[in-house]
Amino acid sequence: MEKTPGMMIVRPPVEVFRTGPDIGERLPEFTLPDQHGRIVRLSGARAGRPAVVHFFRTVRWCPFCVLQLIDLQEAVREFESERIPVFAICNEPVDVLAEFAQVERITYSLLSDSDASYIRTVGVLNTAVAADDPAFGMPYPGSFLINREGRVFEKRFHPDVRVREPMSSLLLYFRLKEYSERLEEMVLERTRDLQQAQLQLVETARHASLGKLIAAINHELNTPVGALVSGIESVWRFYDRMCSDMTAAQRERLLALKEAIDGACARIARLAADLREFARLDGAEVGPVDLRHSLDVTVEVLGGALHRGVRVERRYPDTACWHGRGAPLNQALLEILTNAAEAMPAGGTLTLEVDASDKAFLIVVTDSGSGIPEQERHQLFEPHLRAKGDRIGMALGLPLAHRIVRDQGGELKVLPGTHGGTRVEIHLPR
């Protein structure tokens, strides 16, 4: 207990009386006259600042309220130094409040809710007082502490009117709230920095690993394909000699076999070239990039990841030459197309579109899958955990694609498809 001249002010017990808006809820707006007769509006008076809204019973016959209001005046300088406005409300008329303010030199706002309409709206009307009692309309004594958004973050009420809390202690709640918010902001900022660093590392590692992998694949493919083509050409030089000992059917079969081998060699060579083009092993400098070709090459590289039954539709203009870095863009397209393929395990339609205007290019990838759940859309561009079958892994595809597109001065949007599924848009400046 803390002693105050002529009265005892007692700290409330842990269990606080439940009345009025709960923590996290918005305190209703008020428009009430103060002790000077001036109209005060809560939102206008606090101007986006946190505030104390205190309710008291009366200054005429409640010594507990009088002492608490005087205690609040002694603490008001500290509140003002923290830019925290203070409002005290009861159902007494303005002239009574004016006289009390003059005698006790009260500088904060004493507000008159003479018909107790605001007291009822807030939900702090003392229901223990009968309607025919002259004191009917007075509130339970206590305080709401509201944040910058006007929401309650702390409330101090007790049904026993003798139980009061020193008003200076309320300032501690504001300071703790401020420190908590600052700490939370610092944690969020550091978390964002770590996520961005992680994405950059993932992008660098993926591209470096992809480059090494494709270089190795190119070598492993080109070497035997070169030997195979050379061997076939050598064998074919003896074709005329062998023809004399062959029947017409054997010669026809041999020609068909040669065509099949030539076609297979050409496809392997084309695949190696596509892989090289996709990774741009000769560098990732800024240069002309055919966006249609980038999409087609990425589809080829995706290959088997496109499930059976997935039909690819293309809607391209005659030309779509963008000036930028092709290799990172291909990486972003691969992430987007991989997501689209995974969204259609039973088959569907993958639509690829390119549109060009005077100022920008638009790449659109649309799948006919089940779409992205509403609760997941807010974190699409942030690394997060995602369940895939019976495994849980870090979802980095779209965050990585978002970063790549943003670094090239573009914008990535993920929208619901017109007829279901998901529509991903890449906006690139010319």
Tell me how far apart the alpha carbons of residues 239 and 250 are, in angstroms, rounded to a whole number: 12
**How far apart are alpha carbons 13 and 315 in whole angstroms?**
71
Beta bridge pairs of residue 157? 142
User: Which pLDDT score, from 0 to 100, does residue 385 have?
Assistant: 46
Residues of the chain with pLDDT under 70: 1-18, 179, 190-229, 231, 234-246, 263, 266-267, 269-285, 304-305, 307, 378-379, 381-396
For residue 278, give the nearest of 262, 294, 292 by alpha carbon.
Answer: 294
Of 107, 114, 163, the C-alpha closest to 140 is 163
Q: Return the closest-CA partner of residue 338 out of 297, 303, 373.
A: 303
User: Is there a common fold for 15-165 and 284-430?
Assistant: no
What span, in angstroms and rounded, lies between the C-alpha atoms of 371 and 417? 8
Please list the residues that pair with 356 across neighbouring strands. 361
Give the pair of three-digit tokens for residue 157: 């009420």
Instruction: Report the pLDDT value the prediction gives residue 390, as an integer from 0 to 100.
Output: 46
Pick the closest to residue 416 from 354, 371, 375 (CA basis). 371
Domain-wise residue ranges, the chain:
15-165, 178-282, 284-430
What is the pLDDT at residue 392? Answer: 39
DSSP conformation letters of 359-391: SEEEEEEEE-S----GGGGGGTTS-EEEEETTE
Is the sign of the CA dihedral 324, 325, 326, 329 positive or negative? negative
Which residues are 331's β-sheet partners? none
pLDDT at 362: 94
The closest of 148, 149, 122 to 55, measured between CA atoms, is 122
Q: What is the DSSP string of 79-124?
A: HHHTT--EEEEESS-HHHHHHHHHHHT--SEEEE-TT-HHHHHHT-
* Per-residue model confidence (pLDDT) at position 144: 93
Q: What letters, b where the CB count within 10 A reaches 16 and e where it falls short, cover 110-131? A: bbbbeebebbeebebbbeeeee
Residue 107's pLDDT is what?
95
pTM for the whole thing? 0.46
Alpha-carbon gap, residue 383 to 295, rounded angstroms: 25
Q: Which fold has domain 15-165?
A: Glutaredoxin (3.40.30)
Write the single-letter amino acid at 8.
M
Coil vs helix vs strand at 341:
helix
What Å distances lie between residue 170 and 17, 74, 150, 173, CA to CA? 17, 13, 17, 5
- Residues 325/361, Cβ–Cβ less than 8 Å: no
Determine contact, residues 317/354, Cβ cutoff 8 Å.
yes
State the Cα–Cα distance between residues 268 and 229, nearest whole angstrom: 11
> Can you read off the two tokens belonging to residue 302?
């995706």
- The CA-CA-CA angle for residues 185, 190, 193, to 5°, reads 125
CB atoms within 10 A of CB 378: 8
Give the integer Cα–Cα distance in Å for 20 and 120.
9
Question: Looking at the domain that runs over 284-430, which CATH code has it been given?
Answer: 3.30.565.10
